[in-house]
Chain A
């Protein structure tokens, strides 16, 4: 039976439950999940692009698996991520501020982190709060660190989270792809481009 629990933007509370413990399950190949509901992957591209185009500060958080050129595949993914970011910059309206903020490693970095230039999985909320990020996508972050971050973000912020996961996906994201590849990142970029101008940013909606 499908769970009634939905993975929604927070702040949920100080210690939000792991979505898996609330009955949210991971998508099968060719599928994704939106708010914990399994959907065809194509639907997720549309929704992710819409969320990016709606956000005041749509942000991509590349992790160590793509920031460091471990192999050719990682370097290619990094290039695709850069393309997605450039596309996003072209497609947003004045007043929206896309960002590309790295998570270079997982060291706790106490007592100091510079939230303007990096995000740390142990306190991702600091970077989100500081930059007023309302929609973000994790990519190239090891699963256990991504889960930790996604839970903290859901617990303490109202940011919409997207996971472009190279493995089986993340229950704790509001939207999760699985089996991330260069092709999938490029397809998301194409979708953003296609939906350009069709989505009302929250910025102007607030003004209206």
Chain B
């Protein structure tokens, strides 16, 4: 698991576009402690994206790409929505599924990868919007959880169908009036984190993407728990600034306002007992690794 697998043929190195050369030279494939702090000092696994200026989803994408623990052996499954505009620019294997089918595709993919590469860790991560996760694809989402499929489901919750003009979604808050939902939402926002817990997810978090360090932590936890134990679910608030009438620079504040303890995106976390145990073990190992690295650095300085 390292850059050994992405070497450019020497004889043709000079003709490769510079973004590919940079991926090989300074991307963080294979780095043990990769995380959001690499952004700005290494080649990111996301090239230009075609989202709107200031879109919080683009921030979320960058943090997630920087935090995946095993990007060279990860396959992401996307679905219809704003996220599908970004996947072509991402340097991680990915599959675009039919609208709502993402968790069904990921189930088969994860099983096939386990058979095809029995000795190698292969992570599967679903990344879809709220329309794909809680409306059109709810059946596939829940069935994958019921079956205890070992992959992570990430939902970018922007509380409506953003790129088709602002229709009502299951995650829209009650009473919200959108461009294509003029009467306002009549029902409560679907409580999918609670449903996920009851459906067998071992690690569930709901939060906003205002804090990159938090996103790094929950992504790593979710992927590790899914790899070893069973399904995990992350619901990340990525407001659509256009559809809620905000300006480009107001996305971050919107998230900060929405994550206050009394607000609808207050941090929420459910962890099963086996997952708690696993995360404690991983934390202990990480502590040991850091101590060893510190000691090595100290010896090198001496």
Interface residues of A (CB under 8 A from B): 62, 66-69, 74-75, 77-79, 81-82, 100-102, 104, 107-112, 114, 117-118
- In the A-B complex, the 3 residue pairs with the smallest Cβ-Cβ separation, listed nearest first, are A78-B9, A82-B11, A78-B11
**Contacts A107-B88, A107-B89, A109-B88; is A114 near B10 (CB within 8 Å)?**
no
A68–B88 touching, CB < 8 Å: no
Of the residues B8, B15, B20, B88, contact of A69 by C-beta under 8 Å = B8
Of the residues A68, A77, A81, A114, contact of B7 by C-beta under 8 Å = A68
Neighbouring A residues of B20 by C-beta, 8 Å: 104
**Contacts A110-B88, A111-B50; is A67 near B17 (CB within 8 Å)?**
no
- Which of A77, A79, A104, A117 has the most chain B CB atoms inside 10 A of its CB? A104
Bound-state CA distance A82–B10 (Å) is 10
Indicate whether B297 reaches chain A with its CB closer than 8 angstroms. no
Chain B 5-27: CB-based contact to A (< 8 A → 1; otherwise 0): 01111111001110010000000
- Can you add 4 more A-B contacts, CB < 8 Å, to A67-B12, A78-B12? A69-B7, A69-B10, A75-B11, A104-B16
B50–A118 touching, CB < 8 Å: no
- Tell me the minimal C-beta distance from B204 to chain A in angstroms: 32
**Contacts A69-B8, A102-B12; is A114 near B17 (CB within 8 Å)?**
yes
**Contacts A67-B9, A68-B8; is A100 near B50 (CB within 8 Å)?**
no
Indicate whether B253 reaches chain A with its CB closer than 8 angstroms. no
Neighbouring B residues of A74 by C-beta, 8 Å: 9
Neighbouring B residues of A78 by C-beta, 8 Å: 9-12
Indicate whether B262 reaches chain A with its CB closer than 8 angstroms. no
B9–A69 touching, CB < 8 Å: yes
B50–A79 touching, CB < 8 Å: no
Q: B residues 250-276 with Cβ under 8 Å of A?
A: none
User: Which residue of chain B has its CB nearest to the CB of A116?
Assistant: B17
Indicate whether B48 reaches chain A with its CB closer than 8 angstroms. yes
- Tell me the minimal C-beta distance from A114 to chain B in angstroms: 7
**Contacts A68-B6, A68-B7, A112-B48; is A117 near B17 (CB within 8 Å)?**
yes
Bound-state CA distance A102–B14 (Å) is 10
**Contacts A107-B88, A110-B88, A112-B48; is A66 near B12 (CB within 8 Å)?**
yes
B89–A62 touching, CB < 8 Å: no
**Contacts A107-B89, A117-B17; is A81 near B50 (CB within 8 Å)?**
no
A68–B9 touching, CB < 8 Å: yes
Of the residues A81, A101, A112, A118, contact of B11 by C-beta under 8 Å = A81
Neighbouring B residues of A75 by C-beta, 8 Å: 9-11
Bound-state CA distance A117–B17 (Å) is 6
A66–B9 touching, CB < 8 Å: yes
Bound-state CA distance A45–B80 (Å) is 46
**A-B pairs with beta carbons under 8 Å apart, 29 shown:** A62-B12, A66-B9, A67-B9, A68-B6, A68-B7, A69-B7, A74-B9, A75-B10, A75-B11, A77-B9, A78-B9, A78-B10, A78-B12, A79-B10, A81-B12, A82-B12, A100-B12, A100-B15, A102-B15, A102-B16, A104-B16, A104-B17, A104-B20, A107-B88, A107-B89, A109-B89, A110-B88, A114-B17, A117-B17
B16–A67 touching, CB < 8 Å: yes
A118–B89 touching, CB < 8 Å: no
Of the residues B10, B48, B88, contact of A108 by C-beta under 8 Å = B88
Neighbouring B residues of A102 by C-beta, 8 Å: 12, 15-17
Bound-state CA distance A117–B14 (Å) is 11
Neighbouring A residues of B10 by C-beta, 8 Å: 69, 75, 78-79
Bound-state CA distance A108–B17 (Å) is 15
Bound-state CA distance A87–B9 (Å) is 19
- Tell me the minimal C-beta distance from B131 to chain A in angstroms: 21
- Which of B8, B12, B17 has the most chain A CB atoms inside 10 A of its CB? B12
User: Which residue of chain A has its CB nearest to the CB of B24?
Assistant: A68
Neighbouring A residues of B89 by C-beta, 8 Å: 107, 109
Bound-state CA distance A140–B89 (Å) is 22
- Tell me the minimal C-beta distance from B215 to chain A in angstroms: 24
User: Which residue of chain B has its CB nearest to the CB of A102?
Assistant: B15
Bound-state CA distance A205–B8 (Å) is 39
Q: B residues 107-140 with Cβ under 8 Å of A?
A: none
B15–A101 touching, CB < 8 Å: yes
Bound-state CA distance A110–B49 (Å) is 9
Neighbouring A residues of B15 by C-beta, 8 Å: 62, 100-102, 117
